[in-house]
Structure formats: C-alpha cells, structure tokens
Amino acid sequence: MMNDPMTDTAAHPLKLFNSLTRQMEEFSPVHTGEARVYTCGPTVYNYPHIGNMRAYVFADLLGRTLSWKGYKLTHVINITDVGHLTDDADDGEDKLEKMAAEKAESIWDIAKHYTEAYWQDIKALNIRQPAHWSIATDYVPAMIDYAKGIAEQHCYELESGLYFDVSTVANYGTLARASTDDGEGRIDTVEGKRNAADFAIWRKTPPGEKRQMEWDSPWGKGAPGWHLECSVMSEALLGLPFDIHTGGIDHREIHHPNEIAQNQAHSCSDHSGAKIWMHNNFLIDRTGKMSKSSGEFLRLQLLKYKGFHPHSYRLMCLQAHYRNELEFSWDALESAQIRLKRILAQVEKLTNRFGDERIDSKRLPSPRYQLRTAKLNANHPRLVEYLSRFDEALSEDLNTPEALPILEQLLKEKRLPLEEHIRTVRSMFFALGMGIRQRSDFRRKPRRAHITLVEI
C-alpha cells in the first residue's frame, strides 16, 4: 500500500525554493500523495558535459527525496531533438541541423547517437529512469494542435514564422524578473516583432529551402519553436497544473518564462502551469560557465578515463547546495573521490560485521528504503534521531551539504543494533542515490583502490 506522506506527522515538511516567488515554500502536492515533476532535458546535438549532468543529478535528488518521503513520483524528462536554436532568443540556426551539416550525417542519426550517450551518463551517475522520456519530434502534431489553439488570441504571423505576443498574458517574465521590454537576453532579433520578448512558436522554412526536419502546418512548412515542446509535453503527460518544473538557471531567463506564457494562454488562466519552478546553478570552471557550444568541455567519459568513478562526480555535486555555483577542478574531484572511498570503507566495516551474504542482496523494491519504512525499522532512539536530522536537512530545500555529514557520523557509530543500523544507512543511501559497495580493497590503499558499486 502506498504511504501517505501527509499522515506521517513526525516527518519534516518538505520546503523547496520556488524561483517564481523567490521564496522557500512548503511542498503541497496538487494530487494527494503524488508528486509530478517535469525536467527540461538535453538538446541532443552534442555530448552532454558534466555541467549538464549536474542538472540531472539535481533533478534525480529531488525525485529521490520525494520518493523517500513517500510521494508517488511521476517524473518526465524530455529529449530536445528539434527546434533549439544556437541562441535561446530566436536567433541563429537549429543546433541539430548545424551539427548534422558539419558532420554530414542525418539529424536523426545525430539525435540518436547523442541521446544514447546521454543515457549512458544517466546510468553511470545512478540517476533513476523517469516515468517518461518524452522525445520532442514525437509530439510535433500535438504541438501544431496546441499552437492552433492559442494562435488567434495570442500570436501573429511574420514572414519567418508564427510569433507569441507576450503582452497578451498577465505578468510576462515574472520568473526572470524582467518586463516585456527590458531585461537580460530580451533582444529584438527578428524584424517586425511587436515586443522584444516575443518568441517563435513556429519557424517557417524559408522559400526555396528544404530542411531535413520539417512538417506541414497552417503556417506553412517548418518546425516548432523550442519553447513549445515543453509546454505541450508537460501538459500531455502530467496535466496542468503539475507540481514542480526543473531546469538549469539559464532557463529562468527565457525558456521558462516563455513556457509559462504558453501555459497561461493554453489554459486560459494566469497560472504558470507548475506550482514550483526550481533551478540548479551552474557548474563553472576557471574560465566561467561550462557550455557545449564553446567546443572544449568535460565529459563524464574523460573523468572515467582519468580514473574517477562517476559516483565521485555525483558526490562532488551533492557536496554543494544545488542553488550555489560549483567550481570544477581536478583537485576538488579527487577530494570527493577520497571522501566517497572513506564512506564506502565505513559501509564495508559495518556490513562485514553483519555478514556478506545478507547485505549483498540484490536490488530491493524502493519502498524498503523510504523514510517511513526506515523509521519503522529503527527503534533505537539514536537511529530515530539520525533519521530525523537527515530528513530535516533534505527537507530544507535539499540541503545535501548538511545531510552528508549526518550520514558520515552515523557510519562511525559503534554500538547501535547492527541490522537497524545498516537499514538506516541504506535508506539514506537511497535518498542520496549512492551505490553500496560490492567488493574492493580501498581500506588498504584508499587512494588507488578500485571502486565497484551495486546500484540500490
């Protein structure tokens, strides 16, 4: 039977920072006991860099926390294989078309190749599979219908396409704290736009040209504007309003305000579509924000090649609060790897005392690890206290920098009932998405030891 988190009075209420109100808010689901989350996924024209993967470690942490606290999670992550231009504000070329031309390959092959590469990184980082991977090109007919529904009242046609008039909805740009005529990124790049922030819903194929990806529409042959897909797919798969929408902080400026405008237009209301909008901050390096279009960037593969376990990068992300910038350096990654090995060595000590066969049990159903189950299993007052402190940290806007030391202290405890102790640790591992060690020798040679993990 599903737990009802609302009836667990001892649990700490989950508070999340809502970018829309710029305030911490208590999570109160649209549907009792459920959490519906939409995450803006990758544009698959290139490999994801480790900065991109920070966005999905964050979304995974959010999803795990919701599951851990007993909510029935429905998570959607989209794959953008059409429509994203080299400039978020309607300028430049379609990123996939550009890459396909450079590589002399079909767009479909490009999209397939980089989607698979992204999924490999998702797996390596122990990011759970969402309920739906929604692929943008699968939804083009739905996007055309959606656009037809809002065109008359909210859009106008120019030679280059169908544009959304942002002055037709209430409070455009609240999320970005920008008005219709100023603000970062609000550049008038297309001649004839009524407002600088107006954006393309449909991009017509220029006369005499043929695009690899184009569809017939009431506005001529062409392709959807990038912002349309997320409004269409989130509404189709989660219903409006849904609970939480996530993405990197760059989306707070253009992409998400535009999604909100479309949601308002389509639902004929002032509601933004999602109750809470959450944004992870950037992974940066000494030269600034890591970005795919800048050519040189770090991939998870390179980290692995240099001897780092993907979980060390995951831990590096968890060591920082998701709303803070995180600076990447090899030294910082090395420290995270050493910390991970220390944690796993403690787990090894604990499980060795218990007996290998029983603790090496394979993947167990996740409710075993939920907070409520862990509480039922933990009668010892010290364990109850540890769980409560850990819950409090995660419930405070996913404060992993505080939650991690609580797990580490718990691992060092000596005189707790062993089985309950291990169950409590496992429950925390589940929430953080850390693997349990299988077999290794890192107690003897912690720096050079090989890490092998079992996903839980």
Contact positions vs ligand AMP (CB under 6 A): 40, 42-43, 51-52, 54-55, 247-248, 250-251, 280, 282-283, 289-292
The total of other beta-carbon atoms located within 10 Å of residue 93's CB is 12
Q: Residue 206 CB, nearest distance to ligand AMP (Å)?
A: 25
Residue nearest to ligand AMP (CB): 248
Q: Which does 230 bind (CB under 5 to 8 A by kind): Zn ion, ligand AMP, none?
A: Zn ion
Q: Residue 341 CB, nearest distance to ligand AMP (Å)?
A: 26
Q: Residue 240 CB, nearest distance to ligand AMP (Å)?
A: 21
Contact 391, 411 (CB under 8 A): no
> By C-beta, is 213 or 456 nearer to Zn ion?
213
**Contacting residues toward Zn ion, per CB under 5 A:** 40, 230
The total of other beta-carbon atoms located within 10 Å of residue 26's CB is 9
> By C-beta, is 250 or 392 nearer to ligand AMP?
250
Q: How many CA atoms lie within 13 A of 149 on its CB side?
A: 16
Q: How many CA atoms lie within 13 A of 443 on its CB side?
A: 10
Q: Residue 310 CB, nearest distance to ligand AMP (Å)?
A: 16
User: How remote is the C-alpha of 176 from its chain's centroid?
Assistant: 19
> By C-beta, is 55 or 393 nearer to ligand AMP?
55
Q: Residue 399 CB, nearest distance to Zn ion (Å)?
A: 26
Name 37's bridge partners.
Answer: 75, 244
Q: Which does 225 bind (CB under 5 to 8 A by kind): Zn ion, ligand AMP, none?
A: none
CA distances from 61 to 64, 66, 116, 310, 380 (A): 5, 9, 22, 15, 27
Please give the single-letter amino acid code of residue 54.
Answer: R
> By C-beta, is 40 or 166 nearer to Zn ion?
40
> By C-beta, is 96 or 230 nearer to Zn ion?
230
Q: Residue 255 CB, nearest distance to Zn ion (Å)?
A: 5
> By C-beta, is 211 or 292 nearer to ligand AMP?
292
User: Quick check: bond before 365 cis, omega within 30?
Assistant: no
CA distances from 112 to 84, 99, 106, 434 (A): 16, 13, 10, 29
Q: Which does 52 bind (CB under 5 to 8 A by kind): Zn ion, ligand AMP, none?
A: ligand AMP
